[in-house]
Amino acid sequence: MPTCKQCKKFFPLEDNPNKGDCVQRVIDPRQTYYKAKSVDAESDAAKCSEFEKK
Amino acid sequence: MGVTAETVKELEQKQEWWWAAEKKRSKRLDYLRKAMWKKGAIGGLYPAGLYIDLERPVLQTEKAKELESSPDPYVIKFAKMLAHVLDNKTIFITDHSQLVGYLGSHPNMITWDPTLAAILNHEVVNDPTAIPQPVEENLKIISEVVSYWGGKSDLDKILPHMDLDDSMKVLSGAIGWGVPLSRGGYSGKDYEYIMTGVRAFEDVIAELDRRIDEADARAHEPGATREICDLYDKMNMWEAMKITLEAGIRHARRYARLARIIAENFETDTERRVELLQIAETCERVPAKPARTLQESLQYDLFIQLFSRNEAIEGAWPARPDYYHGPYYEQEVNIDKTLTEQEALDLTGEFLIRAAEVSQYKPKWSREGLQGIEGTWVWTLGGVNKDGSDACNGMTIALLQAARLVRVANPTFAFRWHPKVKDEVMREIFECIRQGLGYPSMRNDPILIANAMNWHGHPIEEARTWAHQACMSPSPCTKHGFQPMRMANATANCAKIIEYVFTSGFDNIVNMQIGAETPLAEAFTSYEQFFDAWVTQMKTIFSILVRPVNRARMLAPKMTPRPFLSAISERSVESGLDVCDPSISRGNAWITAFTWVENADSLAAVKKLVFDEKKYTMADLTGALAANWEGKEEMRLDFVKNAPKWGNDDDYVDSIMLDCLHEAARFSRELKCPSGNNWPILPENVSGNIHYANIVGALPNGRRLGDALYDGGISPGPGLDKKGPTAVLKSCSKIDHISDGRAFLLNQRLSPIQLAGEKGYQLWKSYMKTWADLGLDHVQFNCVSDETLRSAQRDPEKYQEVIVRVAGYSAHFVDISRKTQDNIIQRTVQGLA
Amino acid sequence: MARKSREEYAKASGVFGLQPGTLNSHEDTETVPERPCGLCKHFSESAWSSDGRGSCKVLKEGSDITRDPPVFSLEGKNGYMLRILTDAKQCTYYERNEFIDKDGYECSDPAYRRFIRQLRDK
């Protein structure tokens, strides 16, 4: 089972590697931005369409 | 745009200010302006592309469930829920931006707070356009959230403690709008405490720690008193405040971290990388520590506004940005020269854009009553310092210039005019008006300072710090002077006063007895009897609206606390009491009087045609109104054309207007807020005149059910002010703008052709001198031609950027309903002499 | 006039906070009966919001069309408070409104507008 920490978009917290940010590039009809969502390092990424193995 | 060949000058000559602005602004501002998702509803619905954000309600619900079995007091649980959202919500940084922060998870998302009211939650369930895809799946999530908060939301908890009869009448939507909630309305701020650069969150946290320790020590000394009992609640409150401030600091640092991640892992452009690192440094600094630069100051302000909206649904954005950010502008631009004027303009323009994006899901009355915008972000500029000297500074001018470049409809500005304002600033203001922004509105500072002292007893130094708490109402930004929450349900649909005189208080739209059961109108044999009934209805309606607010203010500290707002308020940090606790507030309440002028025109028509000329009987009139004038067109036109109308310097009707205001002012001093202060009225409208068009029945001024109401405040009815702008000003000047009410909105439409060039400026300045000499407290201008507005109706795609003044706010013309558009076009264009 | 009981208020107001435990499930909010009050010409939606509350212009307070047999009260002043999705199958005063304004991009007329999602295709 792939987990968030195996993904290129996962950036662990310096003081707690079990948690981190999933950082993604988004292009919407008006603007382009980077977004970050708090995730657990061990979260199941099997169904994540954004998963990219490191 | 399809006009690239034209120069800025050519575009300005054609008065196509929006295309000129596009060419004049920097590439960064151009990108950010076009990147912005406008959030205002059109009529009652959100436009395509906007969706309700489900992230926040899910986070709130999961945390609330987790805390159900916790032994924490409610205020601490609530603070933890707010912190949970800030710690876990999705954040983003838009390309080219220098300021960060948004309530929702994505730029086109409208945040929904399910903890406020089941009524609001059911609007979400019923929303026909904004539920995100996949709808079926998301409806199940919504349903789970709605189900959980049913009976637990603030309004659900508060209502059983209110007068149920009043609650039913308020929530009918006939006589007012809004809710009596401390987390739903317009939060004033103690800017003198938190925005002066003296302290920031870490300083307040240190103060809270000290107070908790002292209280704890005191509580364990030998003895047992009421004071010691109270300390336990205070320690809980201080702890909750601290939780929200610490969460705010962590949240800002999440942005700092994201900015560094982008800079170090993704960004290839060197300049942008530097900007991202600057964002990181800024968000590491503020709100933890006081700002040192303009960017930090603006970012700090933005965080405070967002955190306040994390805690409450906000319909307004009280602010005085030139006053509080001005010192940073002065230091960086004029003294240290570490920032160019252009760089400062970019930051200022972006600050306006960031504010314009903010959005929270609001009920239908709000969407219709504030069409085209998210809320009334009426920012206060100019005015005087505490010592009475001119407060204008470089930031005042930067904000006025930035507004013309980014042309957002919200925020708008209201300018505190006083005799010491320099010509340079007046010219910048005039450019905004001439270029059709509809803002700044002009406020008469000496009059309004005297008004604040008269109505609420604010000392002069505090009165001089005032900012608009919503569209129109001044509120000091001081420890005891600021009002923490203006609950919007003290908003009266005043046309109902005269309507209920004819129905003995029964409301035929919502099928409910709401007003007083005054005698049958056909039984009145004199104008005096008729006017007495009007006074009774006025008192009844105002009381129904004010009582729930008073009650909610008293219940708020325990049932619906505001730990974050308390944490940025000196009086709460000092006392350990919730910011809404009436005992630590001087009081600055007001009743917003929508649809007010209809009363004067209707009373005058009845007096003249029924009692003076005896052309009709009261029975004739009552029957005609009950039939919505159907079959009585000739009679209706008589009431329209042959009865005097407000705004023509006609003492017959003007004296009736004064009678109404004097009765209301007298009663305003009998109504008391829980702090013991008065409830003056404030006539203005936003787009309530259209929202209420189908809710107010036929009136004696000749209006039919469904016709738009007047555009508000003390503005004459559209097309009914036939004697020119001076007559309008003279009518309005018969009102004592210090003692007859809290403020009085006046809309004026001016011809853009007449305002062209230097001559136009001199004409306007001369008009403003007359306005000031006559002692009016407010005026605002629409300066877009009928031709442009009609072209925009025919071809909205080409006129996306045309802005109009609706009432206490501006909106993009294409973002308001057709009926509102027509109503603006119908307003009289006044030629200046 | 005697003060109403809490139960009477709850019934008369249609306000959610006074009716805990009801009207909050997915089934409650999604079930559209064959004859919903919202499509009747006598129904007037709340002027405050589109949360589903409304009142009847014919039936008065004290009516109950959900009981079997239904109670129709035509006397008194205040209208009978009900909901846009109340099942009116037993109501003998029901008249389907044929001219319903579904354009939510204009301001509402409580008597005619029904632009809630559940009635969009009705």
B267: closest chain A residue by CA: A34
Inter-chain residue contact B92 with A32, CB threshold 8 Å? no
> Which residue, among B50, B157, B504, B511, would best test binding to C if mutated, counting the most C CBs under 10 Å from its CB?
B511
- The rounded Cα B678 to chain-centroid distance in angstroms is 21
Token output for B767: 């008009």
Residue B128 and residue C20: Cβ atoms within 8 Å?
no
The C-alpha atoms of residue B776 and residue B772 are separated, in whole angstroms, by 6
Question: What are the chain C neighbours of B157 within 8 Å (beta carbons)?
Answer: 17
Please tell me what DSSP assigns to residue B592: E
Q: Residue B482: how many CB atoms within 10 A of its CB?
A: 29
Strands C53-60 and B313-314, sheet pairing = unpaired
Contact call for residues B810 and B409 (beta carbons, < 8 A): yes
Q: What is the pLDDT of residue B459?
A: 98
User: Cβ–Cβ of C17/B819 closer than 8 Å?
Assistant: no
Q: CB distance C47–B509 less than 8 Å?
A: yes
- Tell me the domain boundaries of chain A: 4-40
Reduced to 3 states, what is the DSSP secondary structure of residue B88? Answer: helix
Spatial distance between the Cα atoms of B443 and B438, rounded to a whole number of angstroms: 14
Nearest CA in chain A to B259: A34
Contact C50 B120 (CB under 8 A): no
User: Which residues in chain B are closer than 8 Å to A35, comparing Cβ atoms?
Assistant: 90-92, 105-106
Contact across the interface for C107 and B127, Cβ inside 8 Å: no
Backbone φ, ψ for residue B381 (5° rounding): -120, 165
Half-sphere exposure of B133 (CA within 13 A, CB side): 3
Stated length of chain A: 54
Of C6, C48, C111, which has the smallest distance from its Cβ to B173's Cβ? C48
CA closest to C59 among chain B residues: B511
Contact call for C and A: 3+ CB–CB distances under 8 Å: no
Ramachandran region of residue B277, left (φ > 0), alpha (ψ -120 to 50) or beta? Answer: alpha
| The predicted structure's pLDDT at residue B1 | 43
Enumerate residues 361 to 380 of chain B having a beta carbon within 8 A of any beta carbon in chain C.
363-365, 368, 371
Of C12, C46, C104, the CB nearest to B44: C104
What are the residues whose beta carbons fall under 8 Å from the beta carbon of B475, sequence distance 6 or more?
B188, B318, B466, B467, B468, B469, B481, B482, B483, B486, B588
Count of alpha carbons within 13 angstroms of residue B584, beta-carbon side: 19
Q: How far is CA B831 from the centre of its chain?
A: 30
Nearest Cβ partner of B258 from A21, A30, A32?
A21
Residue whose pair of structure tokens reads 């001199």 in the numeric block: B762
Which residues of chain A does B105 touch, with a Cβ-Cβ cutoff of 8 Å? 35, 37
B261 contact C CB<8A: no
Q: What is the pTM of this model?
A: 0.96
Q: Is the pair A, B in contact (3+ CB pairs within 8 Å)?
A: yes
Inter-chain residue contact B257 with A21, CB threshold 8 Å:
yes
Asked if B44 lies within 8 A of C21 by C-beta distance, the reply is no
CB contact under 8 A, B510 and C110: yes
Could you tell me which residues come within 8 angstroms of residue B119 by beta carbon, excluding any fewer than 6 positions away?
Answer: B155, B171, B363, C15, C16, C48, C49, C51, C53
Task: Report the b/e string of B33-65 with b at 16+ CB within 10 A.
Answer: bebbbbbbbbbbbbbeebbbbbbbbbbbbebbe
**What local confidence, expressed as pLDDT, does residue C49 receive?**
86
Substitution target in B164, B371, B508, B696 with the highest count of C β-carbons within 10 Å is B164
B35/A contact by beta carbon, under 8 A: yes
**How confident is residue C116, by pLDDT bands cut at 50, 70 and 90?**
confident
Question: What are the DSSP calls for chain C, one per residue?
Answer: -PPPPHHHHHHHH--GGGSTTSS-SHHHHH---SSBGGGBTTEEE-SS-SSSEEEEEEEETT-BTTSSS-B----SSSEEEEETT-B-TT-TT--B-S--B--TTS---TTTB---GGGTT-
| Residue C71 Cα, gap to closest chain B Cα (Å) | 18
Point out the residue among B118, B158, B512 whose CB comes nearest to the CB of C16: B118
Ordered structural domains, chain B, with CATH = 47-161 (no CATH), 198-290 (1.10.132), 486-745 (no CATH)
- B160 to chain C, any CB pair closer than 8 A? The answer is yes
Rounded Cα gap, residues B172 and B168, in angstroms:
6
Helix (H) / strand (E) element for B220: namely none
Residue of C nearest to B145 (CA): C24
Ranges of chain B whose pLDDT falls below 70: 1-5, 833
B161 reaches C (C-beta below 8 A) = no
Chain B residues in contact with A23 (beta carbon < 8 A):
258, 261-262, 265-266
Mutate to test the interface with B, among A21, A26, A30, A32 (most CBs of B within 10 A): A30
CA distance linking residue B25 with residue A1, whole number of Å: 50
Structure confidence at residue B745 (pLDDT) = 96
Are residues C46 and B171, on separate chains, in Cβ contact within 8 Å? yes
Strands B810-812 and B803-805: antiparallel
Residue B812 pairs with which residues in a beta bridge? Answer: B803
Give the pLDDT of residue B3. 46
Query: Residue B635 to residues B640, C9, C70, C96: CA-CA distances in angstroms?
Result: 9, 42, 44, 34
Q: Is B280 on the interface with A (CB under 8 A)?
A: no
Residue B500 contacts residue B507 (beta carbons within 8 Å): yes
Query: What is the number of alpha carbons within 13 Å of residue B548 lying toward its C-beta?
Result: 31
Three-state SS string across B224-288, please? Answer: CCHHHHHHHHHHHHHHHHHHHHHHHHHHHHHHHHHHHHHHHHCCCCHHHHHHHHHHHHHHHHCCC
Which pLDDT band holds residue C97 (cuts at 50, 70, 90)? Answer: confident
pLDDT of amino acid C110: 78
Angle at B166 between CA B164 and CA B168, to 5 degrees: 70
Task: Work out the average pLDDT over C70-97.
Answer: 93
Strand partners, A22: A10, A37
Burial B295-325, CB ≥16 within 10 A → b, else e: bbbbbbbbbbbbbbbbbbbbbbbbbbbbbbb
ipTM of the complex: 0.98
The answer on pLDDT for C17 being more than 80 is: no
Cβ within 8 Å of residue B625, ≥6 positions away = B502, B697, B698, B699, B700
User: Looking up tokens 């009865």, which residue turns up?
Assistant: B643
Residues of chain B found within 8 Å of residue C21, distances taken between Cβ atoms: 150-151
| Confidence category of residue C7, pLDDT binned at 50, 70, 90 | confident
Parallel, antiparallel, or unpaired for β C79-83 and C53-60?
antiparallel
* Residues β-bridged to residue B111: B53, B360
Q: How far is B103 from chain A (nearest CA, A)?
A: 13
Beta carbons within 8 Å of C83's beta carbon, 6+ residues apart: C14, C23, C37, C52, C53, C54
Is B158 in Cβ contact with C17 (below 8 Å)? yes
From the CA of B34, how many Å to the nearest CA of chain A? 7
pLDDT at C99: 63
Task: Indicate which of A32, A35, A40 best probes the interface with B, i.e. most B CBs within 10 Å of its own CB.
Answer: A35
Chain A adjacent subunits, 3+ CB pairs under 8 A: B
Asked if the C-beta of B119 comes within 8 angstroms of chain C's C-beta atoms, the answer is yes
Average pLDDT, chain A: 96
Within 10 A of C70 (CB to CB), how many other CB atoms are there?
Answer: 16
d(CA B678, CA B589) in angstroms, rounded, equals 7
Q: Which residues contact B798 (CB under 8 A, 6 or more apart)?
A: B791, B792
